[in-house]
């Protein structure tokens, strides 16, 4: 099925399957909704017409680009890159055949049959790479024409390799290119399964009519296992015709079962090993052979170019496999880092709960309510920590779309301030809240925005409280331009900027500021400057929530002055009317 895959932008990693008609835009009614402030509400449409997907720009402000070129309308081909705003999408066309269909269509036989073929030519990878070498037996004009045709095929193969990320799509495209260049009736590409070493069909092509307008042979491809073994073991491409007359094969060999007159089979030789084979064949009746004067349909030129094409395809297969292995290795490393960071933090929480439980048990035993109360506060505080940790883990690990509903930003942030007042008093920090006097209801996910603001305010309170631990002498020695106010303070301000249609929550503290070496890793998961007190998930979770809303977090910090976090995202009105979103 055709699809769009986001390879850059706020929605990176999202995949959208395409129906006969889809709309791309920022509007919530769009089939492909992108959280990008530079994407118009109804940016572009993709529709299926005459078996092809056609992209139409809907007069968007920033335009639509395909492979770096601005277009109003464009027929899409698999591998095309579509840029809308700051978002880059990869288009993948529909697949013609399923893996099960391919397996049924290709048969590797080991039993003899009545028909007979022989290898008439074999060629190594080195000889096959000399596809453009001058042939003294050919007239110069003929040689130039052949070399020009070969170069065209190789160039188009290189383009296919560079434009297509899906390996199945790439192999099918290569098979199509081969059929454009050579008159083969049937062909397939098979890759070696790294797990079991078996050849598995990945792409297949059968010509609607046989070469020269002949009626095609059976669409099911029967390939001699003997030929495949020869190609894979020797790493040489072969051209076959009537193998019974070749002294390398016995009459009982399995090559006798392959019902072909002529075929080419070449190894897909990568940098290090063979990853598969490419096979094409054609059938000619005895009458057609007589008319052709016994000349072979496939020549050595065909064999050379097939070897060169197979090498390009093999390199693409290897690159894809190595990339997948690297991604898997990075994923496992990330899992290990996550387990190590979380287990350390959970261990500290459990120690706190155990200490609080001990106090409760001791107070109950001594019938001392004050000790019980003190122990319960410790348990409650650590219970809140583990609850917050679990919520951050769920938010950070799960790809989700915000559940947007009409909500009042002043009310959402006000609930955060109310929740954190007790914490601020405990730390000795003044926490103030200035709501926007002209705030309206807008569409966003209030629960997630609550979480994002809560994480930032919590960090700001901790940062402001750090100044309480500094010696008074150090404060007195500071110059007037860098001296902080004596009382730690965190200010939270809500804003609606109607000129740019942005909602903004500003969190400002007068703490010690963020050092430059910490600033560069500020939003990296599990990186915390709080030591055992922090999980390193708070700010990454806030950033993720804002990105899911199509927004971002801006940070400004100065040493001994403080830090300002600005959380902003597009303002969307409940009715989606004009004036609240910008095209």
Q: List the strands of the sheet with 44-49, edge to edge.
A: 32-33, 21-25, 44-49, 52-57, 73-75
Per-residue pLDDT tens digits for 386-418 = 887 787 777 776 777 888 899 999 999 999 999
**pLDDT band, very low/low/confident/very high, at 56 (cuts 50, 70, 90):** very high
Other residues' Cβ atoms within 10 Å of the Cβ of residue 33: 20
How much is the pLDDT for 413? 94
Q: List the strands of the sheet with 552-558, edge to edge.
A: 430-434, 489-497, 502-509, 562-570, 552-558
HEC string for 412-475? HHHHHHHHHHHHHHHHCCEEEEECCCCCCEEEECHHHHHHHHHHHHHHHHHHHHHHHHCCHHHH
Question: Is the pLDDT score of 449 beyond 90?
Answer: yes
Task: Report the topology of domain 399-570.
Answer: Heat Shock Protein 90 (3.30.565)
Decide: helix, strand or coil at residue 233: helix
**pLDDT band, very low/low/confident/very high, at 565 (cuts 50, 70, 90):** very high
**pLDDT band, very low/low/confident/very high, at 48 (cuts 50, 70, 90):** very high
Can you read off the two tokens belonging to residue 495? 């804003």
Burial 14-26 (b: 16+ CB within 10 A, else e): bebebeeebbbbb
Any idea which architecture 3-92 has in CATH?
A: Sandwich (2.60)
Can you read off the two tokens belonging to residue 583? 């095209």
What is the helix (H) or strand (E) element at residue 389, kind and residue range?
A: helix 369-397
Per-residue pLDDT tens digits for 521-560 = 888 776 666 655 556 678 888 898 998 898 999 999 988 8
How much is the pLDDT for 76? 92
% of the chain beyond a pLDDT of 70: 72
Q: Using CA atoms, how far apart are residues 541 and 545, in angstroms rounded to an integer? A: 6
Looking at per-residue pLDDT, the higher value among 320 and 111 belongs to 320
Burial 547-558 (b: 16+ CB within 10 A, else e): bbbbbebeeebe
Max avg pLDDT among 167-176, 207-216, 439-448? 439-448
Specify the pairing of strand 81-84 against strand 52-57: unpaired
Mean pLDDT of the chain: 78
Q: Using CA atoms, how far apart are residues 266 and 236, in angstroms rounded to an integer? A: 7
Any idea which architecture 99-318 has in CATH?
A: 2-Layer Sandwich (3.30)
Average pLDDT over residues 21-44: 90
Looking at per-residue pLDDT, the higher value among 379 and 94 belongs to 379
Q: Using CA atoms, how far apart are residues 61 and 74, in angstroms rounded to an integer? A: 18
% of the chain beyond a pLDDT of 90: 24
The domain segmentation of the chain, as residue ranges, is: 3-92, 99-318, 323-379, 399-570
How much is the pLDDT for 21? 93
Average pLDDT over residues 14-39: 89
> Would the CATH topology of 99-318 be identical to that of 399-570?
no
Per-residue pLDDT tens digits for 234-266 = 999 998 875 444 444 444 344 444 434 688 999
DSSP letter (8 states) at residue 44: E
Average pLDDT over residues 425-450: 90
Per-residue pLDDT tens digits for 201-230 = 998 888 766 555 555 556 778 888 888 999
How much is the pLDDT for 472? 40
Q: Using CA atoms, how far apart are residues 525 and 342, in angstroms rounded to an integer? A: 11
Per-residue pLDDT tens digits for 287-315 = 454 454 444 567 888 888 888 889 988 88
Question: Is the pLDDT score of 361 beyond 80?
Answer: yes
Q: For 359, what's the count of Cα atoms within 13 Å in the CB-facing half-sphere?
A: 17
Contacts of 324 (CB under 8 A, 6+ apart): none
Bridge-partner residues for 5, per DSSP?
15, 90
What is the helix (H) or strand (E) element at residue 143, kind and residue range?
A: helix 140-163
How much is the pLDDT for 102? 61
Q: Using CA atoms, how far apart are residues 35 and 119, in angstroms rounded to an integer? A: 59
Bridge-partner residues for 204, per DSSP?
188
How much is the pLDDT for 68? 84
Q: Using CA atoms, how far apart are residues 300 and 334, in angstroms rounded to an integer? A: 51
Of 282-296, 322-336, 400-414, 510-524, the one with minimum mean pLDDT is: 282-296
Query: pTM here?
Result: 0.48
Question: Is the pLDDT score of 514 beyond 60?
Answer: yes
Can you read off the two tokens belonging to residue 31? 């089939």
* Distance from chain centroid for Cα 105: 32
Q: For 173, what's the count of Cα atoms within 13 Å in the CB-facing half-sphere?
A: 26
Place of tokens 């901790």: 462
Q: Using CA atoms, how far apart are residues 405 and 454, in angstroms rounded to an integer? A: 19
Q: For 29, what's the count of Cα atoms within 13 Å in the CB-facing half-sphere?
A: 7
């Amino acid at each position: 099925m055709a699809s769009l895959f986001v390879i850059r932008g706020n929605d990176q990693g999202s995949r959208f399957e395409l129906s006969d008609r889809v709309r791309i835009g920022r509007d919530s009614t769009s089939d492909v909704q992108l959280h990008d402030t530079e994407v118009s509400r109804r940016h572009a449409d993709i529709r299926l017409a005459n078996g092809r997907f056609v992209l139409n720009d809907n007069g968007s402000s920033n335009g639509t680009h395909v492979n770096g070129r601005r277009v109003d309308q464009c027929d899409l081909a698999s591998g095309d890159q579509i840029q809308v705003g700051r978002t880059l999408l990869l288009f993948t066309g529909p697949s013609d055949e399923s893996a099960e269909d391919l397996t049924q269509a290709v048969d590797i036989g080991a039993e003899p049959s009545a028909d007979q073929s022989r290898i008439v030519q074999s060629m190594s990878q080195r000889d096959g790479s000399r596809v453009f070498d001058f042939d003294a037996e050919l007239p110069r004009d003929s040689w130039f024409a052949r070399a020009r045709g070969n170069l065209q095929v190789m160039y188009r193969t290189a383009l296919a390799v560079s434009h297509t990320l899906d390996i199945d799509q790439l192999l099918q495209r290569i098979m199509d290119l081969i059929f454009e260049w050579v008159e083969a009736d049937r062909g397939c590409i098979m890759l070696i399964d790294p797990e079991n070493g078996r050849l598995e069909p990945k792409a297949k092509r059968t010509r609607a009519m046989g070469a020269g307008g002949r009626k095609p042979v059976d669409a099911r491809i029967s390939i001699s296992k003997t030929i495949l073994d020869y190609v894979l073991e020797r790493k040489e491409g072969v051209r076959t015709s009537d193998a019974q007359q070749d002294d390398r094969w016995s009459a009982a060999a399995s090559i006798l079962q392959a019902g072909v007159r002529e075929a080419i089979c070449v190894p897909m030789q990568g940098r290090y090993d063979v990853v598969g084979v490419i096979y094409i064949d054609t059938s000619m009746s005895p009458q057609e052979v007589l008319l052709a004067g016994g000349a072979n349909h496939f020549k050595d030129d065909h064999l050379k170019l097939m070897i060169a094409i197979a090498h390009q395809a093999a390199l693409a297969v290897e690159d894809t496999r190595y990339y997948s292995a690297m991604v898997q290795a990075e994923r496992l490393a990330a899992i290990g880092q996550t387990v190590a960071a979380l287990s350390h933090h959970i261990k500290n929480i459990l120690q706190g709960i155990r200490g609080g439980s001990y106090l409760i048990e001791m107070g109950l035993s001594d019938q001392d309510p004050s000790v019980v109360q003190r122990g319960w506060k410790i348990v409650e505080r650590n219970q809140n920590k583990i609850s917050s940790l679990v919520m951050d883990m769920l938010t950070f690990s799960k790809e989700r779309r915000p559940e947007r509903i009409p909500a009042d930003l002043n009310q959402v942030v006000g609930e955060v301030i109310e929740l954190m007042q007790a914490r601020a008093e405990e730390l000795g920090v003044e926490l103030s809240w200035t709501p926007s006097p002209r705030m309206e209801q807008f569409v966003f996910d209030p629960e997630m925005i609550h979480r994002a603001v809560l994480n930032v305010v919590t960090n700001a309170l901790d940062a402001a409280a750090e100044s309480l631990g500094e010696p008074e002498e150090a404060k007195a020695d500071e110059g007037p331009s860098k001296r902080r106010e004596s009382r730690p303070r965190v200010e939270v301000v809500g804003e609606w900027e109607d000129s740019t249609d942005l909602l903004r929550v500003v969190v400002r503290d007068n703490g010690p500021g963020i050092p430059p070496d910490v600033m560069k890793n500020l939003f990296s998961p599990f990186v915390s400057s709080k030591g055992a007190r922090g999980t390193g998930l708070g700010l990454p979770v806030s950033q993720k929530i804002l990105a899911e809303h199509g927004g971002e977090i801006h940070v400004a910090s100065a040493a001994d002055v403080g830090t300002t976090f600005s959380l902003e995202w597009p303002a969307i009105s409940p009715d989606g009317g004009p004036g609240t979103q910008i095209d």
